[in-house]
Homo-oligomer: A and B are copies of this chain.
Amino acid sequence: MDGLTIHEASQTTGWSARMLRYVEQSGLVTPGRTGAGYRIYGAAELQRLRTLKELLARFDVALSDVAFAARLERDSVLRVAIDEWLSATAERPDEVQPDNWLRFEQAKHERLLQAA
């Protein structure tokens, strides 16, 4: 078997075993399992855990925020709906040319749908 057990992974990543289970439950890093159900962390998972820790610290972002970003990435309908709301919200700085503005929104919308 190549891959570390949860306690070994805990020591090389800095996450506690408890938190490794919690991170898995949040859907962000899912290790494989042995036949008996033991978690096994491979090199990819270990790397992802380390960079995740760094990401959270660097930007002062919560685990649940990253989980939500993942949901946004998965669910393009939600992503577009939120992006449209934010675009319409965007503090237009004073001058609002009504027809250019509409074309701007449409273009943005299309760009978003295309990226999905």
Chain A residues proximal to chain B, CB less than 8 Å: 28-30, 48, 51-52, 55, 58-59, 61, 65-66, 68-70, 72-73, 78, 81-83, 85-86, 88-89, 91, 111, 115
What residues on B are CB-neighbors of A51 within 8 Å?
Answer: 85, 88
B85 touches A52 (CB 8 A): yes
How far, in Å, is A68 (CB) from chain B's closest CB?
Answer: 5
B85 touches A66 (CB 8 A): yes
What residues on B are CB-neighbors of A52 within 8 Å?
Answer: 85
CA distance A69 to B69 in the complex (A): 8
Most B CB contacts (10 A, CB to CB) among A66, A69, A86 go to A69
Query: How many protomers of this protein does the assembly include?
Result: 2
What residues on B are CB-neighbors of A58 within 8 Å?
Answer: 81
Closest B residue to A69 using CB positions: B82
B72 touches A69 (CB 8 A): yes
CA distance A14 to B105 in the complex (A): 27
**A-B contact list, 21 entries, CB within 8 Å:** A28-B89, A29-B89, A30-B91, A48-B88, A51-B85, A52-B85, A55-B81, A55-B82, A55-B85, A59-B78, A61-B78, A61-B82, A65-B68, A66-B86, A69-B72, A69-B82, A69-B83, A70-B86, A70-B89, A73-B86, A115-B115
